[in-house]
A and B are shown apart, each in its own frame.
Chain A
Amino acid sequence: EIVLTQSPATLSLSPGERATLSCRASQSVSSSLAWYQQKPGQPPRLLIYEASNRATDIPARFSGSGSGTDFSLTISSLEPEDFAVYYCQQRGNWPLTFGGGTTVEIK
């Protein structure tokens, strides 16, 4: 099973600041990685797939990069609605696995 490790666990930032979230895989997943955003009481929402492709209707301030074992999600300038939990997920091997999540909180 591929283990995804997200860091940091919590990111405390102010609106307008840049957020950089990390996801590291225990073995290479090529570019087979996605990012999701989840707000309290809501299901997750797909943000990025195949490491760097924005999903439908996702704002341009969200971008993804990386390949192999190291990936990042960047939010260029935090909007109030961006404070949430973010998960990475790999499709490189069964079982599909998620990282433990990074909480982006208001400083």
Chain B
Amino acid sequence: QVQLVESGGGVVQPGRSLRLSCAASGFTFSNYGFHWVRQAPGKGLEWVAYISYDGSDEFYEDSVKGRFTISRDSSKNTLYLQMNSLRAEDTAVYYCARKYLGYNMYYFDYWGQGTLVTVSS
């Protein structure tokens, strides 16, 4: 079955960096694009970043552009989110989510359980 398992969250000081990972299994990783979506405590969902199936396309939400980098390693079936210059407002549960298969079908058909990132001094 499809599984996405995030890791790498934790407490970090403002201005520092953190790298999240998402290990995928149960499907052909290299056929799919992936997203990162976050949810601040008690708040709604916010899309963060997207990477295409082959890594050739990346898109970012404006507030993370230049600070966050999405990447993938198909040899390890793993998705990453490198987060630099972290701010208090980046505090959230970060979910990795698989892109729905289909041209321009930028929906999220499977989600991981999420990893909590807390930015605090």
Binding site for B on A (CB under 8 A): 34, 36, 38, 42-46, 49-50, 55-56, 87, 89, 91, 94-101
- List the B side residues contacting A45 at CB < 8 Å: 111
Q: Is the pair A98, B47 in contact by a Cβ cutoff of 8 Å?
A: yes
Contact A95:B45 (CB < 8 A) given known A46-B108, A49-B100: no
Q: Which 7 pairs from chain A and chain B are nearest by CB?
A: A43-B111, A91-B106, A96-B47, A98-B45, A34-B107, A49-B107, A95-B61
- Check if B95 is an interface residue, CB within 8 A of chain A: yes
User: A49 vs B112: C-alpha distance in the bound complex, in angstroms?
Assistant: 19
Q: Is the pair A95, B44 in contact by a Cβ cutoff of 8 Å?
A: no
Q: Which residue of A lies closest to B98 (CB)?
A: A46
Contact A46:B45 (CB < 8 A) given known A94-B59, A95-B59: no
Contact A46:B100 (CB < 8 A) given known A34-B107, A96-B106: yes
A81: shortest Cβ distance to chain B, in Å? Answer: 18
Q: Which residue of B lies closest to A98 (CB)?
A: B45
Contact A91:B105 (CB < 8 A) given known A46-B100, A98-B47, A100-B44: yes
